[in-house]
Structures are given as C-alpha cells and as structure tokens.
Amino acid sequence: MPDVKERSQGAVERASRSDWLENLARAGLATRGVLYVVVAILAVQVATGHGGERADKQGALQAVLQQPLGRLLLLVLAVGLGGYALWRFVEAIVGPPDEADPSKATLKRVGSAARGLLYTAFFVSAVQLVIWSGIESGSDDAQSDWTARVLDWPGGTWLVVATGLAIIGGGLYVGWRGLSRKFRKRLKSAEMGTAERRWIVGFGTVGMVARMIVFSMIGVFLIGAALRHDPDQAVGIDGALKRLADRPYGPTLLFVVALGLAAYGVYSFAEARYRRVER
C-alpha cells in the first residue's frame, strides 16, 4: 500500500512539472478572463436597465452559447475550465513549493482545492449547456435553497453567519492582495516591458478590489439571511450586482464595479501569458 501511495504521489508531482499541465493552466486563466469580461458586459446591461441575462459566470456561459458558433465556443471554454480545475487540484495535492510555513502551505492547498471544485462546477455547467442548450440553472435560487436547508440544522444560523464572514474575509483578502500588489510575485515581470508591467499591475489591482466588493456584498447578504432567518436574502454574484443596482446611485456604482470586473478579466489574460506556473 505505501508503494502505491508513493507511486501515485510521484505521478502527480511529475504531472505538475509537465508541459501539458502548464498549457492547460494557461488556457484556464484565459478562459477565466473571458468569463469575467462577459460578466462585466452583463453587469453594464443591468446598470443601464437593459439586463435580462444573469450577471454571473453561469450567465456568461449562456451568453456565449447564444453567439454564432456558440456551442463550439462553449466547448473550447469547457476545456479551459476543466484545465484550470485540474491545475488547481494538482496544486492542492503537490502543495506550494516556495512555502516553508506548514500552516500557510496547508491554507494554500485548501484554497487550491476550493478553486478546483468551483471550476469543476463551471466545467460541468458548460458541458451541460453544450449538450442541452436549454438548461437553466439559477445560482441565487440554489443559494437560497442551500441556505434554507442549513438554517434548519441545529446551530444552522451561526453556521450560515460563519460562512458569510468567511466569504467577507476572503473578499477582503483578495482586496488586500490587490492594493498591496502582492500578486506581482506570481508574474514573470522580467519578461514585460515597463509600460506593459505598469498596465498589468494596474488592471490586477482594480480587478481585485472589484472582486472584494462583490464578495463582501455576497457575505453581507448571507449574514442578513441568517439573522432574519430568511433564505431569500442569500444571493450569488448575479443577485449581489442586481441589488447594488437598486441602491441610490446604484447604477453608477454597478457600472464602476463592472469596469473593475472587466479589468480583472484583462488581468487574467495577462496571467495566461506571464503567470509563473510551477514546474
């Protein structure tokens, strides 16, 4: 049994250093960029009062499907989403090679596994849309259903509150990374020109702050759902953006957030080219 475990670990480590995994990772980063740009376009439509589509990644996939050659485009995106998920799972198994602190390494492994699961769900959604183009999946309805079930558990209210706080904490961490520009160490800065590096870092900073705002709103609404014992208050990205649009000056704020999400999409394209993928 130990030999099997060691062989399996060795196979994963070899995979983590392979060209095909790096190519899949870069394709996945580019796919993430496409989704964020499309989400930003849908958010602008909501801000201007023309939004009928869902302004989240599921809505982005459906928007792609509606384009000429939509199924083919969606199939390409599905490959990228699957590649991104696989890359994150390999990261979770192998662990960060440049992290000496065991506790931080464990947190990074958990983060990679969580991203892998999230993008696996997007991959499955994309494949379902390719096969059954009429499929509809409401992220906010699913969020409400999940919240309602958990609220009925013993101590469920506090579990939902803790989840909301964790989402807010994750959002604040993303914003901190953006404002502190800690993400620069992921990039092959030496391969960029001075102006190119400045623009890429700027897009990354603005994009991460926009993601912080969206995640924080989702966490706040989730906590509100728990304290009011009203699962309908729980929303995903689509619901958070649409509720932002309903606030005073909301359309203007939503337009600004949409620009930030588009900036993160552009930054994702830059990551696809310049990200350090550990070999």
Residues of the chain with pLDDT > 70, as a percent, come to 84
Long-range CB pairs of 256-260, under 8 A, 24+ apart, other chains included: 257/43, 257/210, 257/213, 257/214, 258/40, 258/41, 258/43, 258/44, 258/47, 259/40, 259/206, 259/210, 260/206, 260/207, 260/209, 260/210, 260/211, 260/213
- Report if residue 183 sits inside a domain: yes
User: Would you place residue 36 in the very low, low, confident or very high pLDDT band (cuts 50, 70, 90)?
Assistant: very high
The pLDDT of 116-125, averaged and rounded, is: 88
Tell me the two tokens of residue 7: 């062989």
Please check whether residue 43 lies inside any domain of the structure. yes
**How many Cα neighbours within 13 Å face the side chain of 258?**
25
Is 251 part of any domain? yes
Structurally, the chain folds into a number of domains equal to 1
Closest CA to 207 of 172, 170, 178, 168: 178
Residue 277 tokens read as: 């993928």
Is residue 279 one of the residues assigned to a domain?
A: no
Give residues with Cβ within 8 angstroms of 80, minimum separation 6.
Answer: 27, 28, 30, 31, 32, 34
Q: Convert the pLDDT of each residue in 185-244 to its tens digit.
A: 889 988 999 999 999 999 999 999 999 999 998 889 889 888 888 777 777 777 788 777
**42-99 confidence digits (pLDDT tens):** 888 888 876 656 666 777 777 887 877 778 888 899 999 999 999 999 888 887 666 6
pTM (predicted TM-score):
0.83
Q: Is the pLDDT of residue 32 over 80?
A: yes
Its domain, for residue 95, covers 2-274
Dist CA 133 CA 117 (whole Å): 23
Q: What's the whole-number mean pLDDT along residues 116-135?
A: 81
In this predicted structure, the answer to whether residue 143 has a pLDDT above a threshold of 70 is no
33 pLDDT higher than 90: yes
CA-to-CA dists, residue 157 to 111, 144, 234, 254, angstroms: 25, 14, 13, 30
pLDDT at 99: 60
Tokens of 35: 């989704």
Token digits for 36? 């964020």
Whether 273 has a pLDDT exceeding 60, the answer reads yes
The reported pLDDT for the residue numbered 178 is 94
Check residues 270 and 253 and name the one with the higher pLDDT: 270
CA distance 204 to 186: 12
At 55 the pLDDT is 67
Contact 43, 254 (CB under 8 A): yes
Q: Are 244 and 217 in contact (CB under 8 A)?
A: yes
How does residue 278 score in pLDDT terms, banded at 50, 70 and 90?
Answer: low
Q: What is the pLDDT of residues 150-168, one digit of tens each?
A: 777 888 888 888 988 999 9
For residue 279, the model assigns a pLDDT of 52
> Which pLDDT does position 53 carry in this prediction?
60
